[in-house]
Structure 1
Amino acid sequence: MTHAEPPVVEATGIVKRFGPTVALDGARITVRPGETHALVGRNGAGKSTLVSVLTGLQAPDEGTVAFGGRPAPRTSDRDGWRQRVACVYQKSTIIPGLTVAENLFLNRHPRGHGRLISWPGTRRRAQELLATWSVAVDPQTPAGELDVEQRQFVEIARALSFGARFIVLDEPTAQLDAAAINRLFGRIRDLQRQGVTFLFISHHLQEVYEICDMVTVFRDARHIVTAPVADLPRTELVAAMTGEAPAARAEDRTRSLGTGARSALSVRGLRGDTYADVSFRVGAGEIVGLAGAAGSGRTEVAETVVGLRAATAGEVQIAGRRPAAGSVPAALAAGAGFVPQDRHHQGLVPDMSIADNATLSVPRRLGRNGLLSHGRRDQLAERMIENLAIKTPGPELPVSALSGGNQQKVVMARALADDPRLLVLINPTAGVDVRSKEFLLGKVEETADTGTGVLVASDELDDLRLCDRVLVMFQGRVTTEMNRGWHDHDLVAAMEGVDLDA
């Protein structure tokens, strides 16, 4: 590799806005021939938006992209982009109902006499392509029968068949076991030697040190640093991702915690598809964080606690009661309140009013024998609107007419409507403005002060700062417990599975 050659890709001064949100702010990256170049950053740092710009799916509002020293094609020139760059996404783009050969040459099959598709020619070219790039898959195999690892190799071969020698790998190890990860890394090194360049995106920083030559860090939509991996210690990499905020250490809380025999939540030996042997306790009035990167199992554990999922083994007790597994009504009846991960799909009925959304979980408080009193509903909703400072002309307004922050307040209002003994929150401030975030987190502390136990499952540091303890999950297990006063560096390193002393 020589720097006399032009970069495989160079993006400079990239700005991309989505309404008021600035997703990229003067961002830049330079990837040189033959590298495996890591792109890392916390959620919301701008990685996905940059990939969409580098692959031609989004045009930047400002800035330039060049391949091999030449300007990128117009966004409408899809063939031009395919010849320069391809992305293998975490979610496969292979069509399971077609064979491997049909997927490889979709919409560009070899033609025979009369311009009909030549199936023998398609299979022959597929076999040649797979052999060229050492992909050991039968071209006549239905793609739906491939495992995750095989699908990735087929997608890489398909990208290379267009002429691209620059491949973006988006979380390629997320669904692979250790042996498959080692095989993938071996293939990446083989392809590097054949002149293929990779941009590697991963939540697992340890993998950056195993496979990558260079690393670029994004934070808050901006480029922070680019350096050789060998020259960037783990502590400095994590510092670049988190920033040097003066509030990095959480302030001490003076609120006393409940110490009674009964806990708000007790989880023992919980096991599911994405987690194993999870045990912990949340005391009355205690706020406990459940932290972890994507795929850590934190969300699934929280959803199991409130009955959205059923564990295959283990026990959940809420305020001393053991609700039926996999039953949200049973968890609510036991004393749980719940703010789900996605308010749009799990938390709200958009066409219903604020009043109806806020009181969906407490019909017995609105009337008897299945008959609901609109007067009682509106009285309860108006108290919620005042308590949560929801900006609305009245309770009858459709919840879809509210801002994101006020919609999240409605979800929180419903979670608190029945005075829960346990409040479970998953990413409670995702997609809300700063003032709404501060208000919601203040409401969580206020709720805990009344003796309610709180479980906060999140990877957002601001959500976790108010916690008395944070349990860190990595690859389905609780690996670390940190008391209040943790440092950003230490928590992020634990979430990413990085040993800062290595």
Structure 2
Amino acid sequence: MTASVQGPDAVRMTGIMKSFGGIRALDGVDLSVAPGSIHALLGENGAGKSTILKILRGVQVPDAGEIHVAGVPMTQYTPEAARNLGVAMIFQEMSLIPTLTVAQNIFLTREPRAGRFLLDDRSANNLAKLLLQQLGLDIDPRTPTDRLSTGEKQMTEIAKAISQHARVLIMDEPTSALSTAEVERLFAFLRGIKDQGVAVIYVSHKMDEIQQIADTVTILRDGRHIITKPLAELTLESIIEHIVGRRVNAFAWKSRQVDRSQAPLMQVRNLSGLQKPSGISFDLYPGEILGIAGLMGAGRSELARAICGIDKMAEGEVRVQGKVVNTSSPRAAIRAGIALIPEDRRTQGLILEHSVLSNLSLPTIDSLSSAGFVDDRRAKTVAEGLVSRLRVKLGSLTSPVRLLSGGNQQKVVLGKWLAADPIILILDEPTAGVDIGSKAEIVELIRSLADAGRAIIMISSELAELLSVSDRILVMHGGRITRDISRDEIDGWAENDANAVDRISQMEHGLQLAIQGGQGLV
């Protein structure tokens, strides 16, 4: 429940306009955020979310419009001016300096001082320790930041923001690198500061998070304000419809049949890595979508990397169409018809400075070449077909792929491997960090590939999406398979719920129990 806090809006933005090179990013957008509330700001990539928040943070200057923070007009647009008004922001791209300690990063440019000229490291360490304890973290504030895990770095960013005693805390995809336990600790903290009157503006593509934490929802589309309503008055379906501008049913389970009487397309037997996974065995059938669930560190990505020859296998074997596959290298796995869409598209799936055309052509460059030269015309034809099929939004095939939105970058990663025509596709977090419209398109693509006879392994931390496409789900813990859950068992978790939203909620609860070591719903 939203805290009862009297006084002006924590944030009131009216008639905000912003253009870049003739392209209008914001077209008269209004945004009002109450103190003591968690306000979700939603929209597809390119809807204007980041632009309006950067304006509020003083990073960009609006072309027109007015902003008031706690009733005080914003007259200067600099990060320092915004900070003085009580606005703090956690950016999606982390801003920590790796050579500095956790405490030094938290208080950078605002260091406690001993006298006029000396920095007081002891006070900084003590204050940082208190902040980290508020977030439920046991991190030594003297630790250099480059020694932290990705999740710990993200929590340090959050500690840095809350150290500014903000009235308004902006969070842009704050859980993208956090484990389930870290997300729970963060949400508990946010509920605590909400009760103290702090306004939180929360941006996320994860609908399950929005449903857990938000009080109010504002949706932008194409730089315009679409709707602001209490979350309680919106269904998941209506939120998605407002975001994409059309009705989308991609996240509802669509009944499908997998013929397990025929020979498996892939057989994994007693597969073990040097550390993880350990003793993994399963069969994968033509047209099957096999979901793999588990907590961070369960060994899901390590399994994918071992199957694809990226990580060395300690023992075991992989058979494709009955033949043992040499998985000593990614090239051998690709020749056997196995392709991997990696977890981190920016560092593992793309060459960011290369063009969209170059990235799409990489896996098939041999087939596009003759006498050592790439057939540019043929490569362009193939790339144009993939862009059209996957509905990739881009200015030009020659544009650097780094300029695309996260969802369109992910489509390029998918497209380059579809060009290689694999019979087995392993997808590791395929919808992480992409907007809801792109997620829906990727989910539909996964279904269509399976319907065409390809076998799919989908690794995902987003349970609703995993449940919406999986014919069965393997649960991993500690590098081992701990549960093999059939579709009938999944459907049984919600057999008494007619409401679609309640069914999804019950299925997510059942899968969460299985992941945490339970036996499903009783």
Q: Is TM-score (shorter-chain normalized) higher than 0.5?
A: yes
Q: 1:71 aligns with which of 68, 73, 80?
A: 73
1:373–1:126 distance in 2 versus 1, CA, 3 Å: closer
Letter of the structure 2 residue corresponding to residue 385 of structure 1: T
Measure, in 2, the Cα distance between the counterparts of 1:294 and 1:60: 42
Residue aligned with 2:289, SS: strand
What are the equivalent positions in structure 2 for 1:82-481 lying under 5 Å apart? 83-89=85-91, 93-109=95-111, 117-120=117-120, 123-124=122-123, 127=126, 141-144=142-145, 158-159=160-161, 162-172=164-174, 183-201=185-203, 214-218=215-219, 220=221, 222-227=225-230, 231-232=232-233, 236-243=234-241, 245-246=246-247, 248=249, 261-266=262-267, 282-284=284-286, 286=287, 288=289, 305-308=307-310, 317-323=319-325, 327-337=329-339, 342=345, 346-347=349-350, 358=361, 361=364, 363=366, 373-374=371-372, 378=375, 382=378, 385=381, 389=385, 400=398, 412=415, 415-417=418-420, 420-423=422-425, 449=452, 452-453=454-455, 481=487
Letter in 2 for 1:102: Q
Distance 2:204 2:278 in 1: 23
Output one character per residue of 1:461-500: Cα deviation in whole Å (capped at 9) or x when no partner: xx99xx98566799999978589xxx9968976897699x
Distance 2:314 2:257 in 1: 35
Q: Secondary structure at the match of 1:400?
A: coil
Flag the 1:345–1:249 CA change in 2: closer, same or farther, 3 A.
closer
Gaps (5+ residues) in structure 2? 388-395, 478-482, 492-498, 512-520
Alpha carbons of structure 1 residues 49 and 456: separation in structure 2 relative to 1, 3 Å: farther
C-alpha distance in 2, partners of 1:82/1:194? 19
- CA distance in structure 2 between the aligned counterparts of 1:424 and 1:47, rounded to whole angstroms: 32
Report how far residue 123 of structure 1 moved: 3.2
Mapped contact 2:17–2:28 kept (Cα < 8 A): yes
1:6 Cα deviation after fit: 0.5
SS at structure 2 position matched to 1:106: coil
TM-score (norm 1): 0.63
3-state SS, counterpart of residue 39 of structure 1: strand
Residue 142 of structure 1 aligns to a residue whose secondary structure is: coil
My pick for the range that moved more, 346-355 or 157-166, is: 346-355
Task: Give the direction of change, closer, same or farther, for the CA distance of 1:100–1:338 in structure 2 (3 Å limit).
Answer: closer
Aligned-residue sequence identity (percent) comes to 24
Deviation (angstroms), 1:97? 3.4
- Displacement of 1:37 in angstroms is 0.4
Normalising to structure 2: TM-score of the pair? 0.61
Whether the 8 Å contact between 1:165 and 1:195 is mirrored in structure 2 is yes
1:335 is displaced (CA, Å) by: 1.9
**In 1: Cα distance, 2:57 partner to 2:95 partner:** 15
**What's the CA shift for 1:329?**
1.0
One-letter amino acid of the counterpart of residue 123, structure 1: R
Instruction: Give yes or no for the alignment of 1:30 onto 2:29.
Output: no
Q: What's the secondary structure of 2:170's corresponding residue?
A: strand
Deviation at 1:334, TM superposition (A): 1.4
Q: Provide the residue aligned with 1:81 in structure 2.
A: 83
State the alpha-carbon separation in 2 of the partners of residues 217 and 265 from structure 1: 45
Contact 2:13 2:66 in 1 (8 A): yes
Q: Is the 8 A contact 1:203 1:294 kept in 2?
A: no
Aligned length: 470
Change (3 A) 1:361 1:241: same
Task: Judge which range, 38-47 or 48-57, deviates more.
Answer: 38-47
Q: Distance in 2 between matches of 1:219 and 1:99?
A: 38
Higher-Rg structure is: 1
Change (3 A) 1:123 1:141: same
1:30 CA displacement = 2.6
For 2:10, the equivalent position in structure 1 comes to 8
Q: Distance in 2 between matches of 1:18 and 1:294?
A: 41
Q: Which runs of 5+ in 1 are unaligned?
A: 392-397
Shift of 1:67: 0.6
Shifted more, 274-283 versus 214-223: the winner is: 274-283
In structure 1, give the amino acid aligned to 2:119: W
Check 1:361–1:143 CA distance in 2 against 1; reply closer, same or farther (3 A cut).
Answer: same
Matched AA of 1:422: I
Any conservation in 2 of the 1:278–1:478 contact (CA below 8 Å)? no
What do residues 38-90 of structure 1 show as CA deviations (whole Å, max 9, x unaligned)? 41647636654554343233445555432112333533352443542112457
* Letter of the 2:229 counterpart: T
- Larger deviation, residues 64-73 vs 16-25: 16-25
Q: CA offsets per residue over residues 2-41 of structure 1, 9 Å max, x none?
A: 56500111234556666798766665443222x2404164
